[in-house]
Structure 1
Amino acid sequence: MPMIAFELMMLVTSICALVVSGWLWQQARRRRSLQALSGFGVMMALWCGGHIAILQGWHRLGILLILANPLMPTFFLHFATRFVYPGRASAPPWLEWLSRHISLIYVVSSIIVVLSWLGTGGRTVALGPFEAFFVFQGLGWFNVAYTVVIGVIAHLVLVWGLSVHKGNLRRSIVAMFAAGGWGLLLASSFIFPSIGIDWYPYPMLLMPSYVVLLVYGVVRYQILEANAFAKGALPWLVLMLVLLGVVALIRALSAALGAGSLAAVPVWQLWLCSLVALAVALLLKRPLNELSDQLIYPGVDLNEALLERWLNRLKSAAGWDALERMAADLIGQQVGQPVRILLQREGDPMPVIARNGLHILCQHRASGWRFRLEGWEDVKPGQRLTGEVFGSLLATSCGLLERSLQLAEAERRRLASEHLVELGSLSAVMAHELRNPLNVISMATADLPSDRRALIQAQLKRADRQISDLLLYSGRIEPQPQPVQLAAMLDSLRPLFDWQQTEFETAVPPGLWLHADPHRLQQVFTNLIDNALGFVRNNPGSRIRIDTDECGRRVRIHNNGPAIDPSLHDSLFQPFVSRRAGGSGLGLAIVRRIMDAHGGDVRLRTDLGWPVTFELSFPEEVKP
């Protein structure tokens, strides 16, 4: 049994080394140093193959393969030299010499190997459970000494690289040192029989780990595909070890279970058959997955190219409406029938879902965006799978768009803040320079007739109000929130306006409180009511109404004046945009600044049955 275990581990090491070498050779098109590391893996496979050959009775072949040992560190030296010194940086003279004369070292190593062959550098002896095990003799010891010297030089090259390199290259060198120490510990037991120590080479049973750790430690920081390869290979490696253990257990119990014929089969043959079956399963995994997808989800082709195209299209949407339209077009084309996309952002009411038709609802939750399929119960399984995959991509795109809009809004506010600092300084100077002559004009009207004095005073008040608006808009707004009873505050505003036959109606619950700065909140409602009066005053049946939504977080100011031209909707809250003669164009801009300072929002609504509605949204729950 111990001899079989040793032979099996040598076989596994040889297979691992050959597989890894083939993969490294493919990757060497991008990194030439990996060619030499691929050669190191091949020599490791041949060295392990020499031990297998001896155990199988082919002693001469096995001795020749093991005595080719010096080529293994030579390939590693070649790799180390290319890895740490690609020829573009200064290096010590000895390293430059090695880089230029690496072919000479290959020749010397080959000569050592041939001399070891001709001079009978090794033989086989009985060792414990082994009928034959390799030991060095004669020129074989020179072979060993040369191998050690080349290995030491290779690690000196790595030491130099460790002193000059940083980042991932340095991490790879550290990984090589760790793997080299592990390999030395495992291979040391190989020498014991040659120096007269009759001890079973238990550490060599772990040789497969040395090859994998060395190569993975080198390339994991250089080639990202290696990490994906390792992630896929690790489960199969664990499965292989478990399978070998199960096969050995079944064979051990087969005699007691009455399966004598199975007990007579050599365990290595059972292991070999198991590994072949596992390899066949690995090769068939992908085509069988594709076949099962076609059987269970016929007609569905959700390949990586399609998913990438979907994600790129969804990410290109500049706003929520564009995302809804684009998503509906993409999924509708794929499933062959219309699909309605519903996006429910934070604070939005639940969208109305029709009884008929297909819907994908994406909702903002505390844990992020989540999707739900509505009306997909009767569609084919393939179409439902398509909807679920698309819904997942749509939820991801909603999160990306939300963050993008937040960053854009933050940048807008930053630029606006910088602009307001400049505007504030200019406004303060202009206000001082303008109010002085206005005061002089006001005093000069004292002797004028009353009608002319009233006309001039009215215009002076208008000018002073516009100066005050400019100072308010350009100054810093730092609200000091406190509970405000909304109904009482609105009642206090009634005497401040000349309503001129306009009906002012409030439908605000008496117990509704807002957490806001009372002075700033009064400015908001004063500006909005004054703005509405400018359009409805003196018109028959003119009305202004203030009410709230069900939860009280949104306060709405309606008026039945003329509707706002759609061309002005996007610029309505920008400064110096006015719809009425004599307006400063700052009223609505000031409202937005105050609401932004409170963490709220103001927007125009035209879907509530009134020509004009301004809706104020507050971030916190109202407090009764």
Structure 2
Amino acid sequence: MPLYLVFEISMLLTSICAVLLAGWLLWQGQRQPGMPALAGFAAMMALWCAGHIAILHQWPQLGIALVLANPLMPMCFLHFALQFVAAGRPLSSRLKVLQRQIPLLYGFTCLLIALSWLFNGGKIIVTTGFSAFFAFQGLGWLNLVYTVLLGIAAHGVLLYGWRHHSGNRRRSIGAMFIAGGWGLLLATSFIFPSLGLTWYPYPMLLLPSYLLLLVYGVVRYQVLAINAFANKALLWFCMLLVVLALMALVSAMLGQFGMQALSAVPALQLWLYSALLLLLSAACYQPVAALARRLIYPGVTLNEALLERWRLQLQQTESWSELAALGSKLLSQQLRMRVAVHLPQTQAVAAQLQIHCQRGAEGWHYELKGWDDVTPGYRLQGEVFAALLLSSCRILEQSLKLAEAERKRLDQQHLVELGALSAAMAHELRNPLNIIAMAAASTADDTRQHIQQQLKRADRLIADLLSYSGQLQLQLTTVPLNALLQSLIQQHNWQGVSCQLDVDEQLLITADVYRLQQVIVNLLDNALAFCRNQSGAIIKLQAQQQDTQLLLYVHNNGPAIASEQHSSLFQPFVSKRAGGSGLGLAIVRRIMQAHGGEVNHRTDLGWPVSFELRFNLNTEDTADE
């Protein structure tokens, strides 16, 4: 194969790709900064390559004019670089001056190109592999130097942007640097004949890759739609190269098989026919693919508009039940058959066709049940819809988690505000209660006694509010647990209930004595309230040491607590006792948490009701014992 023909094919491919990319950038990149200027760069590269093709086909004047227009290519790239770097970040004062001079630079560039044309800045020479190739002369050298200076200025702007940007824009600039270095290496061979070097410009054969790398590196992170376009373009480009290679092989072998007529066909014509056939195949690909889908999957009406509508509707749901109902409705309407969608926390619905979406250890997955006997077209629609449903499940799961976190935050904030308000109100209530107590001193004995009982009850409620809403500041001391419990038992009015104590006299506990007494008194009062009206009532205090923990139990043989109440036992303002504030057990839990311990309700210790207090013991206390 003649080397000049290989060069012509490379220039032709570069020119075609450049024109396509310029049109694409003007169409899709209008909202992106600098894309029109980048489209101008691609268009000028197409004209520059077309100039070399014109020279090969004996159109020297047109070819020289197009190649000497070379400065417009780096000029457009400089314009693009300034706009690209300025997006999202202000330019330095020098670059702002350069940006204001862009119209003047365009004018000077066009003037220099016109002078190069007027004073014959280029000529045609014979060099290795070519009967006609471009070479600079006279004012053309100024044209070349100016082109190089513009390129240096553009890359200087990119260097500034790389230092001051981050993220995708910085990555794009890095890709431009890599592509720029590759382009410089390829373009170096262009001036070999002008320097008197008779080397064949092999690097220029790879120019199509330079354009693809440069433009793809720029728009890869900025115009997402270009990624799919570049993927298809690269696929068809590779297919074209394969076809060209196959045609060259077939052309060389036709003569050996006696096909002299075919072997006499010029290679260029075979390649053109092959390229035309490939382009026709690309144009027919979509309709043929659509026809194949209809033959294989009859009845399928899936399209991008329908999928987008499904996706938007599914993502607007706010609960699992709503998502399941909407999913069932959409797919049933599409297939004109009843389809049931089963999601977490939704009730099962009987239907022949079912889609089950579940979250497993490895993430979300779906399962189609009852779809084995449907047509392939229906099965395909079910698979596609299930994939969309999975995506909506992931989004809904994240949305519900965020909503739950926000609800907890608001609840916590509300509790803090309520605690502050409760503390303030409790303090304010003590003043009118004191006035009532003093006023009751002059009343009859029965009335005074009744008022004092109610005042004690109110005072107890206020104390509970202050204990729950205020800040706990512990004064820790080490005391014998048995002696502490004995003193509490002796002070209590048991009203006929038997109180038993099973605690080792040597057992010590480190705690705030006042707060610990408050915990035990609250538990004893609760137990006494439910036991005192039954015969044989027993309340038992029991303690033991287990490893590095001290366990204190408060048992009673009163009525067992209903199972539906277990989850709310320690919540504030929840009380099943007449006259209770609903804060007793909540205060117990708060005090235990302040001690670094915990309180639990137990039903597996042989008593109808047991409360377990767990205190952590440090190693020093254990060693002393």
TM-score tier, shorter chain, comes to 0.5 to 0.7
Between the aligned partners of 2:565 and 2:146, the Cα distance in structure 1 is 89
CA distance in 1, matches of 2:319, 2:191: 71
What do the CA deviations read for 1:451-503 (whole angstroms, capped 9, x no partner)? x9999989968985896699569999xxxxxxxxxxxxxxxx999955999xx
1:409 aligns with one of 380, 388, 404: 404
Shift of 1:414: 2.8
1:48–1:496 distance in 2 versus 1, CA, 3 Å: same
Deviations 1:314-337 (A, max 9, x none): 222222222222222222222223
1:37 equivalent in alignment to 2:38: yes
Cα distance 1:160–1:47, how it changes in 2: closer, same or farther (>3 A)?
A: closer
Provide the aligned C-alpha RMSD in A: 5.0
Note if contact 1:70-1:146 (Cα within 8 Å) is conserved in structure 2.
Answer: yes
One-letter amino acid of the counterpart of residue 414, structure 1:
R
Deviation at 1:48, TM superposition (A): 1.8
Matches within 5 A, 1:192-203: 192-203=192-203
Aligned-pair identity in percent equals: 48
Equivalents in 1 of 2:400, 2:553: separation in Å? 27
- By how many angstroms is 1:589 displaced? 9.0
1:52 equivalent in structure 2: 53
* Counterpart secondary structure, 1:52: helix
1:399 and 2:402 are equivalent in the alignment? no
2:191 is the alignment partner of 1:166: no
Other structure's SS at 2:274 match: helix
CA distance in 2: counterparts of 1:209 and 1:417, whole angstroms: 60
**Offset of 1:204 from its aligned partner?**
0.8
Do the aligned partners of residues 222 and 318 (structure 1) sit closer, same or farther apart at CA in structure 2, a change above 3 Å counting? closer
Report the Cα distance in structure 2 between the residues aligned to 1:281 and 1:327, rounded to whole angstroms. 39
SS at match of 2:317: coil
Structure 2 match to 1:362:
357
What is the distance in 2 between the residues matched to 1:466 and 1:320?
Answer: 44
TM-score (normalised: structure 2): 0.67
Conserved? CA contact 1:339–1:359, under 8 Å: yes
Q: Deviations over 1:568-610 (max 9, x none)?
A: xxx999865789975656799999999xx99xxxxxxxxxxxx
Conserved? CA contact 1:70–1:112, under 8 Å: no
Counterpart in 1 of 2:205?
205
Aligned mates of 2:409, 2:581 — CA distance in 1 = 24
| SS of match in other structure, 1:12 | helix
Q: What is the rounded CA distance, in whole Å, between the counterparts of 1:520 and 1:337 in structure 2? A: 62
Question: Which consecutive residues of structure 2, in runs of 5 or more, have no partner in the other structure?
Answer: 473-525, 535-549, 598-625
CA distance in 2, matches of 1:20, 1:7: 20
Q: CA–CA distance in 1 between the matches of 2:4 and 2:221?
A: 38
**Aligned CA distance change for structure 1 residues 582 and 361 (closer, same or farther; 3 Å):** farther
What SS is found at the alignment partner of 2:31? Answer: coil
Pairwise CA distance, 1:425: 6.1
Within-5 A mapping of 1:548-567? none
Stretch of structure 1 that moved more, 197-206 or 278-287? 278-287
Deviation at 1:244, TM superposition (A): 2.8
With over 3 angstroms needed to count, the CA separation of the structure-2 counterparts of 1:593 and 1:59, relative to structure 1, is farther
Number of the residue aligned with 1:224: 224
Q: Is the 8 A contact 1:161 1:170 kept in 2?
A: no
Deviates more, 1:583-592 or 1:323-332: 583-592
AA partner of residue 72 (structure 1) = M
What CA distance in whole angstroms lies between the structure 2 residues aligned with 1:121 and 1:239? Answer: 37
CA distance in 2, matches of 1:589, 1:409: 23
Greater C-alpha radius of gyration: 2
Moved more, 64-73 or 316-325: 64-73
Measured at CA, do residues 187 and 433 of structure 1 come closer, stay the same or move farther in structure 2, by a change above 3 Å?
Answer: closer
Match of 1:99 in 2: 102
- Which residue is equivalent to 1:247? 247
- 1:328–1:341 CA contact under 8 A, matched in 2: yes
TM-score (norm 1): 0.67
257 and 30 in structure 1: CA distance in 2 versus 1, 3 angstrom threshold: same
Tell me the distance in 1 between the aligned counterparts of 2:352 and 2:586. Answer: 43
1:401 to 1:577, Cα distance in 2 relative to 1, 3 A = farther
Counterpart mapping for 1:390-469 below 5 A: 390-423=385-418
SS of structure 1 residue aligned to 2:343:
strand
More displaced 10-residue stretch of structure 1: 318-327 or 197-206? 318-327
1:621 aligned residue: none
How far did residue 102 of structure 1 move? Answer: 3.3
Distance 1:252 1:147 in 2: 41
Matches within 5 A, 1:79-478: 79-80=80-81, 83=84, 91-92=93-94, 95=98, 98-116=101-119, 119=120, 121-127=122-128, 129-137=129-137, 139=138, 142-160=139-157, 162-163=159-160, 165-167=164-166, 171-256=171-256, 259-344=259-344, 354=350, 357-423=352-418
Name stretches of at least 5 consecutive residues in structure 1 with no aligned partner.
Answer: 477-492, 502-516, 533-545, 547-555, 559-570, 599-624
Letter of the 1:417 counterpart: Q
Q: Match of 1:14, as an amino acid?
A: S
1:152-204 Cα deviation digits (max 9, x unpaired): 13532542464365245555444444333322211211222232222111111
